[in-house]
Chain A
């Protein structure tokens, strides 16, 4: 319990330093919000171009696809707020050998690397994502029942954990792939697949993206749960996947550290 309190205080310190940093570049905040909104707009334009020519994609109406897009955008923004900045520094730390300073600290290294930088200028995107989701539900004229909302929120949480763990594992590859500067693209690709309902894939790929690389659990299955089209049983799957991915990520990190050669020290 004392340990937990220690980490909680540490996290508050991370939050404080991130906030101070953010206040120094206040003009950046709105620029970032606008910039993120532009890319959301870009994806919505893609959807619009498709739905100009059809009423449904694999059984998904335009408004339903919008709920899905909002969900993925929300998860993406939450990852970007909580973990992205810190993890994106990992390859540089490996290259320059400054990872040593993290490993020497009496703090769990995964905790430190993942959570040290909180990217507050992504908060705007979270709000935009929620607004988009509400707009899409209003367009659908669908009011989800409370159990569906609870199921949805729980699944979004597992989606975040799955996505974070995947991203963490991909960035961990930098321990070996010292010269590769674009590992973050691997997580981008993960999200790129999840933006559309995984129902568009034929059986083999759909199973692959549900049971092997659980992209369906990012947005497709949570959205189905919200719309009352997925059974609650999927939640146990989602929780199992999230835990498995988290533990795998942790084990992978521990394993990778054995190969860390501390390049420049």
Chain B
């Protein structure tokens, strides 16, 4: 028996090659993020009208926030439920049930290689965007220390397990596509993608605490631009860890129940 680690390494090699084969797709998906971090900061810069700060964000911090949110989103936010639910529906999942490696590790390898490639592709864009904005306004200092990367990793896991759990709905529902589409509206709003959560009305800020989304991208970005520091930062990193555990628990439960009634139609 080969060890699990060597199997995962083998899977990683396969999926890195696979991701590279789809780099044109990756590039096109990335354009959404490019446009987001081009349009939103410019909209906000036109909204200051001479004021020094909006909800504690000065123009430099606002600009940096959007570049960082686009950068981290490329690595953190997982969309595996689309393909995975299709595999469940078509019975393709059966192939993976028969192999001597738990499905979750295959997904980890697949997701990790794709997300890592996306982040590498986006890094020069982020640098270019920061350079572009530095001509309009002094940027906020960015702290990319180990606490940031720890938070990024935890955010990645929160998003991964949420998507993994969500995919299990395909065991019960005929039509999952519309459910997944509906998932995106609250996700984009509460993960800090649309705007820093501090700029939202109070009730939305409270709502954000009740969903896992804030703990995917918003927390690491707030750490990077220095909005979260010291005790408050550790509190949020702790909550990220809690959401990872909640995600693992929910995914385990749903997948165990789902697999019990999986019929492998289509094979």
- By a beta-carbon cutoff of 8 Å, the part of chain A in contact with chain B is 31, 35, 38-39, 41-42, 45-46, 49-50, 52-58, 177, 179-183, 185-186, 188-189, 192-193, 196, 199-202, 205
Contact = CB atoms under 8 A, between A and B. Distances in A.
Interface of B: 21-22, 24-25, 28-29, 31-32, 35-36, 38-39, 42-49, 54-55, 136, 178, 181-182, 185, 188-189, 194-195, 199-201
Contact of A192 (B21, B32, B54): B32
B35 A189 contact: yes
Contacts of A200: 39, 42-43, 45-46
B178 A31 contact: yes
16 contacts: A45-B189, A49-B194, A52-B199, A53-B55, A53-B199, A55-B49, A179-B24, A185-B29, A186-B28, A189-B35, A193-B35, A193-B39, A196-B39, A200-B42, A202-B42, A205-B42
B43 A50 contact: yes
B63 to A, nearest CB: 13
A130 to B, nearest CB: 23
Contacts, number: 83
Contacts of B22: 179
A261 B181 CA distance: 35
Nearest to B31: A189
A58 to B, nearest CB: 4
Given A50-B47, A54-B54, A192-B39, A35 B178 contact: yes
A53 B54 CA distance: 7
Nearest to B45: A200
A188 B200 CA distance: 26
A166 to B, nearest CB: 14
The binding surface of chain B is classed by DSSP as helix
Contacts of A205: 42
A45 B22 CA distance: 34
B21 to A, nearest CB: 8
B227 to A, nearest CB: 16
A45 B201 CA distance: 11
Given A192-B36, A196-B39, A200-B45, 15 more contacts: A35-B178, A50-B44, A52-B201, A55-B49, A56-B49, A179-B24, A181-B25, A182-B25, A185-B28, A185-B29, A189-B32, A189-B35, A200-B39, A201-B42, A202-B42
B187 to A, nearest CB: 11
A42 B189 contact: yes
Nearest to A170: B28
B80 to A, nearest CB: 16
The binding surface of chain A is classed by DSSP as helix
A50 B194 CA distance: 10
Contacts of B42: 200-202, 205
Instruction: Kindly list the 4 A-B residue pairs having the minimum CB-CB distance in the complex, ordered from nearest.
Output: A58-B46, A54-B47, A200-B46, A53-B54
Contacts of A52: 199, 201
A201 B189 CA distance: 24
Given A45-B194, A53-B54, A180 B199 contact: no
Contacts of A31: 178
B194 A46 contact: yes
A137 B182 CA distance: 30
B260 to A, nearest CB: 30
Given A35-B178, A193-B39, A49 B200 contact: yes
A221 to B, nearest CB: 17
Contacts of A49: 194-195, 199-201
A197 to B, nearest CB: 9
Nearest to A196: B43
A112 B188 CA distance: 37
A195 to B, nearest CB: 8
Contacts of B21: 179
A46 B40 CA distance: 10
Contacts of A181: 25
Contacts of A188: 32
A183 B24 CA distance: 10
Contacts of B47: 50, 53-54, 56-57
A177 B29 contact: no
A128 to B, nearest CB: 16
A35 B199 contact: no
Determine which residue in A50, A177, A181, A199 has the highest number of CB atoms from chain B within 10 A of its CB, and name it. A50
Determine which residue in A31, A186, A200, A201 has the highest number of CB atoms from chain B within 10 A of its CB, and name it. A200
Nearest to B33: A189
Contacts of B38: 193
B32 A180 contact: no
B47 to A, nearest CB: 4
Contacts of A180: 24-25, 28
